[in-house]
Structure formats: C-alpha cells, structure tokens
Amino acid sequence: MTIKYIDSAVAFIDILGFSDLVLESESNTDVFNRVTTALNGLNDACASVIKRAGAISDCGTFKLSTFSDCVVMSVQRRYSSAMLVYASEVANQLLQTGFLCRGGIAVGAASHSSSNIVGPAFIKAYVAESKYAVYPRILVDASIVDEAINKSIGATKIMFESMLKIADDGTYFLNIYSSPLISVLTGNPSSKGHERRTYEDTALATLKFGENIQREDVLMKYRWARTQFMQSVYCTSEFVEQLKQIHL
C-alpha cells in the first residue's frame, strides 16, 4: 500500500453518548432500536453529504469513511470551506433523527483511501473532537474560518457567517443549532412558520431523550445544547418555556 499525503481539510464526527447506548443495547430492546436508529441516521447523513459534495466541488477530491458511529470526511485544502457545509449536513441529519454529535475539522497533510485515513490533519481533527470540543459541537480550525468568511463575498459570505459561532475561549464551532441553517441544509424554503415548527419539534425530540440519562457529565452536554437552541433567531418565548420544562 502506498501512502501519499495531500494538503487536506479533515472532519471527524461521532454521535454523543453512543458507546453507553451500545453497552446497554444487548439487554434492552428499546435501546437496541435506538442504536439502530442512530446508525440508520448516520448512513442517511453520509448519503446526503455524498450527493451534496458532487454539487459543490470536484467529486474526486471528496472522500468519506465510517466506522461504528464515527464519520471521517476529507477534501483537498482548496475546498476547505465546503467542509463546513458537509459537516453541518451530517450534524443536521443526526439532529433530525434525535441525536447530538461532536467533532472537529482540521487542516494539514492526510492520506484518505477507501480502506483507511492517516495523517496529521486526521489526528488534529480527532483530538479536537475527543479533547477540546467537550460539548455537542464541531470545532473548526481558524484557517478554515478565515477561508470561509474573509475570502468569500455576497451571499456566500453571509451563509458562512451564519454557520459559525465563537466560544468564550476564542475557538470557532459550527452553529448546528441554527434554525436558518437547518432550513438551508434540508433544502426546504417553506414558510417561516412551518420552518420554525419543524425546528422546534426537532429540538424538543432530541433533548427529551436526555431526561432518561443518569450520568451528570452527559446531562451537562444536553443542557449546553438546550442553551444553544434557546439562542436561535427563531427562539420564541413559548419555545423557551417548552425547553425549560425538559428535565435535564
């Protein structure tokens, strides 16, 4: 096998709390069914991303691999801003299935084949997810933010600005809890009322699963996600009350 590094943008994403679900799934049919739902949702997300990749950039530069609940995607560095869309697509599809995710997007050398991925960019993306993301969010390398926002114009620039948030520590992450973003990714330009109701239903269904979680370290991540939903531009007072009623 020959390994050839290319300058790449790499995303590593996995489903929040999946390991705990798998450990419980052997003796609990409901949990087993939820594991199945999660994997089906991830497969649907990957299929959607592969379709979208063909419309955004040269298909030959985009690669995607999955194992268990993890998905790894890579593109050549010159398409790094497109990775924001691909990663958001995965997160959005999982949200609609009722699952939160966490991840990292990094740049650097990588070799991604049909059988494996190796390289510093992959390691950096994995470390961003496993060590620094903490909450259900996808961290983004600052150089990709610069490429997406400072080197784009017009509607494209506005789209990327809406896709990113900055944390208190100065790190950037994908605004996967944004109602407008969900609308764009689903390709549903329907009325704002319908869009808001769909967004709220998705948020409530996803967070309600947290009511069954006992581990405090996992619960705090659901609470963080609830705060992100509350900060959406479509957050009405009624929606806030519904979110508050979820016992996390």
How is the chain classified by DSSP, letter by letter? -----EEEEEEEEEETTHHHHHHHHTT-HHHHHHHHHHHHHHHHHHHHHHHHHHHHS-GGG-EEEEETTEEEEEEEGGGHHHHHHHHHHHHHHHHHHT--EEEEEEEEEEEE-SS-EESHHHHHHHHIIIIII-SS-EEE-HHHHIIIIIT--HHHHHHHHHHEEE-TTS-EEE-TT-HHHHHHHHT----HHHHHHHHHHHHHHHHHGGGG---HHHHHHHHHHHHHHHTSTT--HHHHHHHHTS--
Res. 32: pLDDT tops 90: yes
pLDDT surpassing 70 at residue 241: yes
pTM: 0.88
| Options 3.30.450.40, 3.20.20.70, 3.30.70.1230, 3.30.429.10; CATH of 6-176 | 3.30.70.1230
Task: Dump pLDDT digits (tens) for 171-227.
Answer: 999 988 875 555 444 444 444 555 667 778 888 888 998 888 888 998 999 999 999
Which pLDDT belongs to residue 189? 45
Reading the block at residue 183, the tokens are 């609308």
At residue 193, the pLDDT reads 57
Average pLDDT over residues 51-69: 75
Q: What is the pLDDT of residue 233?
A: 67
Position with higher pLDDT, 12 vs 194: 12
Specify the pLDDT at position 58.
55
The confidence score (pLDDT) of residue 126 equals 97
Residue 14, pLDDT > 60, answer yes
Mean pLDDT along residues 55-75: 80
Supply the pLDDT for residue 104: 97
Stretch(es) of the chain classified as CATH 3.30.70.1230: 6-176
